[in-house]
Chain A
Amino acid sequence: SQTIHQWPATLVQPVGSPLSLECTVEGTSNPNLYWYRQAAGRGLQLLFYSVGIGQISSEVPQNLSASRPQDRQFILSSKKLLLSDSGFYLCACNSGNSGANVLTFGAGSRLTVL
């Protein structure tokens, strides 16, 4: 089965500072990878997804970017954080096979921008 590791688990950053959240996947190859954000009291919003190395699709315009340097590594970045970037960031994957649109989620990274 698939396992997702995310780090850091918690992060407090000042406005204007850079960001790097990392996600790695075990137990599958060539997964589809996703970054979701959960704002306080709200549901999850899809930010980025990737169907392969170097392939990134953005779902919403924002201050963040994503990269996939390796098959099972997905990174969320920002050059200058905004207050509105605060939230709970969840990495997810599925295997990309037919019947496998069930997502496995990581434990999340909680970002507070001050």
Chain B
Amino acid sequence: EIVMTQSPATLSVSPGERVTLSCRASQSVSNNVAWYQQKPGQAPRLLIYDASSRAISLPARFSGSGSGTEFTLTISSLQSEDLAVYFCQQYSSRPPWTFGQGTKVEIK
């Protein structure tokens, strides 16, 4: 089973700042990574798939990059509504698909 490790666990950021979230896979997953945003009490929301493809209606401030074992989700200018936990997920080769433990983004 492929292990996805996210860092940091928590990030405190001021509105307008640039945010970079990291996700590392225990083995190469090519570009088979998705990112999700989960706000308190809500279901997750797909942000990025195939490492860098944007989901429908995703604000332009969100972008994804990476391949192999290292992946990044970037929020170019943090907005207050971006307070959430962000999860990465791999879907390389065969199931089980696995998720990172999440990075919580707090507004400073």
A binds B: no
